[in-house]
Each structure stands twice: as C-alpha cells, then as structure tokens.
Amino acid sequence: MRHVVLVLTAHAALAVAGPIDEICVDLVGPQRSSCLRDEDRTAAAELEATNAAVLESLSGNAKARQLVKNGMAEWEESIADTCAALAESYEGGSGAGNAAIACEITHRRHRAAVLQDAFRVEPNVRMLPVPVAFSLRHAMTGPGLVLGLRNQSSEPLTLQLEFTRPSTQEKIFRQWELPAQGFTEFGHGEGWAFRPGDIVSVSDGRHQSIGTELGGE
C-alpha cells in the first residue's frame, strides 16, 4: 500500500513543472540548438534511468509497477502536447523548436527529481550518457574547425576521446582530464584540424559513451 500511495503522490505532483528553465541562454543560433539537444539527451537519459530504478524498487508489487508504467505513458503524451502547444505560440522559426526542447528538458528534469524524492531512488549512472556537451567553431588561426567539450556535471571527468575521419580512415586517441563544469577545446594546435564529417566519440568508463558527426559551422 505504501508504494501505491507514493505512486499516486508522485503522479499528482508531476502535473506542473513550473516555469520553463533558462537553458543555454548564453548561446545563440546553431550553438544554442546544439547545446539544447545535448541537454535534452542528458535529461531524457536521467529520466529513463530514474524510471528503471523506480520499477526495480517496486519489483515485489505488481499493482504499483503497473500504475507507474501507466503514469509514464500518460505523462509522455501530456508533455508532448504541452510543449507542442508552447512551440505553436512562437509561430514557427528556430525559436519555436528551441522553446519546445527547453520545455521538454524542464519537465523531464522535474519528473526525475520528483520520482527520485518520492521513491528515494537514484538513477544508475551507467544508464546515463557521459555528461559532456559539444560545440564547434572556426579556428581563429590555422586551418579547420575547433571542437569544444563542456563538462555539464559537478564532478571531474577522465575522458577517452577518439577522433575519426572516415574519408581517409585517419584516427587518433586522446585522454583528457576535464574539471567539474570545465571547458576545453581541440583543434589543429592539439593535433587535429576538424572537418565536417569527422566523428567524435567520448567515453569515461562510467557512463554510456556518446558521439557525434560534425557538420559545418
């Protein structure tokens, strides 16, 4: 019975997440869109891991597990409608898409926090992606593009980096220490002048690996 009460309490508390979080507001244009996609990926993974932890905590209560599963599906539909309606208010343009993503991030963060508090669970870190956001800019001196890596977590990361150029089969590996909330850049000065089409892979041995194919900037 206690678990059922918790399910219903958590479900009721998730109806409203409050104001939309200010996310990536220090960036503009393609960089902000890229930042929002990274944040959305992280928020979605944390919520998925939290849902899994909640279901595991209810392994001995089939009724409560089913209530939670039903609540998950209902919540996804509700938030999709809410954020789509918000995007429509922008009457198109990139602002609409960014607003919808920021809306989804806010609600996912809120739901994960409420579930973690209500069920006293923590998401399995191995289900979460490496908390690193990518950025890209033209090199100010020298050839190619410069890749930026930002640590979005409050803990330092030891990263294993792999840069691949499929067109020539070139590949290099780097290990890099990135402080909590730290930022670093890689370009020709670090031995790799990035080009569109290059593939970046990042792992740390604790989280799920992430990667991206670079476009033009």
Q: What is the 3-state secondary structure (H, E, C) of 26-56?
A: CCCHHHHHHHHHHHHHHHHHHHHHHHHHHHH
Could you say which of 92, 126, 160 is where a domain stops?
Answer: 126
Summary mean pLDDT of the chain: 83
Give the confidence band of 164 by pLDDT, cuts at 50, 70, 90: very high
Q: Do residue 47 and residue 18 come from a single domain?
A: yes
Q: Do residue 17 and residue 62 come from a single domain?
A: yes
Q: Do residue 143 and residue 187 come from a single domain?
A: yes
DSSP-assigned letters across all residues of 186-207? ESGGGT--B-TT-EEEEE-SSS
Q: Do residue 158 and residue 208 come from a single domain?
A: yes
Q: How many CB atoms are located within 10 Å of the residue 13 CB?
A: 16
Q: What pLDDT is recorded for position 126?
A: 75
- Residue-wise pLDDT for 76-118, tens only, equals 888 888 888 888 877 656 678 888 888 888 888 888 888 888 8
- Residue-wise pLDDT for 115-156, tens only, equals 888 888 888 777 788 989 898 899 988 889 999 999 988 889
Number of domains the chain is built from: 2
